[in-house]
Chain A
Amino acid sequence: MAQAKSQNKILTGNRLRNGETVYYTAAGVWSPYVAEAKVATTPEEADALAKIGAAAYAANLVIDVNVIDVTPGGAANPAHIREVIRATGPTVRADLNKPVTPPQR
């Protein structure tokens, strides 16, 4: 699989309180579901995400904050396998995996 080149980026971290992997959304909240992440398509937008991440870290909401690459496929498709696994769970425990979008109620 060739790495798709893309400038698209999303902001992610883990919630301080419980360690849950979360993504910063367009609604300005942190969601466990990667497909809900707000996608930055320009370097300026990526900088803005980084600033939001730094502020959330300083406010003790999230830790291990990073702006990561996603493929042109959208937020639900992080570029690196590490981030794919972070978004959905261990590949060796399908029973513990989480969806990329919130389950329908």
Chain B
Amino acid sequence: MYIYDKFDHTITRERVAEFSQQVARRLTGELSEDQFRPLRLMNGLYLQLHAYMLRVAIPYGTLSSKQVRKLADIAKKYDRDYGHFTTRQNIQYNWIKLEQVPEILAELASVEMHANQTSGNCIRNVTADQFAGVAGDELEDPRIISEIIRQWSTFHPEFSFLPRKFKFAVTGAAKDRAAIQFHDIGIQVVKNDAGETGYAVYVGGGMGRTPVVAPLIKPFVARTELLSYLEACLRVYNLHGRRDNMYKARIKILVRDLGPAEYARQVEEMWPLTRAAGVDIEPAEEARIRAFFAPPPYEKIAEPVASFVDARAKTRAFAQWVQTNVHTHKVAGYGAVTISLKPIGGIPGDASSAQMHAIADLADTYSLGEVRVTHVQNLVLPNVKQADLFAVWQRLGEIGFAEANIGLVTDIIACPGLDYCSLANARSIPVAQQLSERFADLDRQHIIGPLQIKISGCINACGHHHAGHIGILGVDKAGQEFYQITLGGAGDETASIGTLLGPGFAGEDIVGAVDKVVNTYLELRQAPSETFIEAYRRVGATPFKESLYGRR
């Protein structure tokens, strides 16, 4: 993974000093709350219901074991002994004291981490495929360009006060595991007809109250020209994006209003100027960053690995876990393990400091010291030898993270909702917990097959409900928590936005309603191999509406 050089360290240290000084000025009252808010948000510091929340960036979801330990120690020392991994591959702490933030940032800086631009109307943490570097289907490790974008976008002098937040996601493969078309800019590594590697650029996707699947704006940008192209994309947005209405300020609205073709034209017009400004990366620097993502020293292992085959045959639960939680590795004899942060009845994405320490130890012993965060709020050990999988599974069982449910109905995304979030209409976590309990039977989960439930506590859609096969949205109905169901969303390369089924359900009825939807699917699918989303796309919403609301 990328390792800071002295210049990265200098900038990070200078940032800690700058923000510490801003905190001090706030505490003395030199800065008012109105002046401080944008500054603290640019450092990922929110005020939630119970305390400040600090969002720490995990660039493109990659962590070293040392960083995981630091995150655990911060949870213990400055928070209430746990953290929440988010859909944007960040970690959030929920009980932070403003006066301690400078200290926390200094601790983070010591392990090459920060909270830069994890909120605010600036360029946010770049997310990428959690299987970057280990997936057999990728053209190039998406973390290379993600790190280049991270550096370029850090303290960008022109783009730190955009009309609204700005999110990048990168995938290195045609199979999109990073939901790139739901981002302000989605980047896909592609090859052109000449066989050169470059980037396809999608602009103007997003969720929130106006979900949009991003259109393709530029099919191919050469490797060393991407930054100037992005700078042109951002400048057109910065100048012309709406600032009069916060709900219309995202780039998706600008692209929609101008039309993708006209937006693309304006970007092309701006591009020569940003090219001349000298932001593009030199080949030598590109090569320097690329080198950090060279494959680690894998062993040559012949498949099949006898002990692994044997363990699967002997232990059914292990075999089930391998089926759902171990992703094929590009190197023979290895697997990429997804650690489910979705124990039955648990809080999706939460991990205690003890659990984080155990995971860091596993990474050191079995995964070349690396951990990844997924946009489905799980963690990944990317480089586990097949011969070690059984031991990893057992240890994960001891810390409660061996649920064999990745991609299944209990692998639920849930935002913090009204238990923590000051913008929420309704709670998300208890709904996730109850659904998880309802579908706890693992055999039944396997019968149901791939099915993604995603829950947001309000229209901001932090829980990606628009992209859920089954989406659940919390609404406030005369002071009561109500939940609407959407069906048919998808966040992968077949991205689509879910359709609202009908009136919402009260808290005590939502689990039963989802169960009905699932049963309806089981009844109407043509074969067990027809997944929920495939069946939905074949039959549409009507049968599900009828089962929930009766025939009209």
Contacts and interface: CB of A to CB of B under 8 A. Distances in A.
Physical contact A–B (CB less than 8 Å): yes
B27 A17 contact: yes
Which residue, A18, A90, A91, has most C-beta atoms of chain B within 10 A? A90
Given A19-B47, A82-B424, A92 B433 contact: yes
Interface stretch (B92-100, B289-297, B539-547): B92-100
A90 B82 CA distance: 14
Given A3-B478, A91-B427, A92-B433, A86 B49 contact: yes
Nearest to A13: B47
A35 B330 CA distance: 60
Contacts of B47: 14, 19, 63-64
A3 B479 contact: yes
Interface in A27-74: 57, 59-60, 63-64
A96 to B, nearest CB: 6
B50 A90 contact: yes
B97 A82 contact: no
A60 B481 CA distance: 34
Q: Determine the main DSSP class of A at the interface with B.
A: loop
A19 B52 contact: yes
Given A63-B47, A96-B80, A85 B418 contact: yes
B255 interface: no
B83 to A, nearest CB: 13
A18 B419 contact: no
B26 interface: yes
Which residue, A80, A92, A93, A96, has most C-beta atoms of chain B within 10 A? A92
B481 A92 contact: no
Interface string B482-510: 00000000000000000000000000000
A74 to B, nearest CB: 19
Contact of A21 (B49, B419, B433): B49
Interface string B63-92: 000000000000000001000000000000
A14 to B, nearest CB: 6
Contact of A18 (B26, B97, B418): B97
Contacts of B427: 85, 91-92
A27 B481 CA distance: 35
Contact of B99 (A18, A79, A80): A18
A19 B97 contact: yes
B347 interface: yes
Contacts of A89: 50
Interface string A1-21: 101000000000010111111
A80 B479 contact: yes
B166 interface: no
B447 interface: no
Nearest to B428: A92
Contacts of B32: 60
Given A60-B29, A90-B420, A96-B80, A18 B50 contact: no
B419 A91 contact: yes
Interface residues on B, range: 20 to 34
Given A89-B50, A91-B419, A19 B98 contact: yes
Contacts of A26: none
Given A16-B98, A81-B418, A81-B481, A92 B50 contact: no
B430 A92 contact: yes
B460 to A, nearest CB: 15
B57 interface: no
Interface string B32-68: 1100000000000001111110000000000000000
Nearest to A20: B51
A81 B419 contact: no
Interface in A82-103: 82, 85-86, 89-93, 96
B82 to A, nearest CB: 9
Interface in B412-443: 418-420, 422, 424, 427, 429-430, 433
B478 to A, nearest CB: 7
Interface string B7-33: 000000000000000000011010011
Given A18-B97, A63-B47, A57 B52 contact: no
Contacts of B80: 96
B77 to A, nearest CB: 15
A14 B51 contact: yes
Interface string B455-499: 000000000000000000000001111000000000000000000
Contacts of B33: 16, 57, 60, 63
A93 B429 CA distance: 10
Contacts of A85: 49, 418-419, 427
B49 A17 contact: no
Contacts of A91: 419, 427, 430
Contacts of B51: 14, 18-21
A92 B349 CA distance: 13
Contact of A17 (B99, B419, B480): B99
Contacts of A79: 479
B97 A16 contact: no
Interface of B: 26-27, 29, 32-33, 47-52, 80, 96-99, 347, 418-420, 422, 424, 427, 429-430, 433, 478-481
7 contacts: A17-B98, A19-B97, A60-B32, A79-B479, A80-B479, A90-B50, A90-B419
Given A60-B26, A81-B418, A82-B49, 12 more contacts: A16-B26, A19-B50, A19-B98, A60-B27, A60-B32, A60-B33, A64-B47, A64-B422, A85-B49, A90-B50, A90-B419, A96-B80
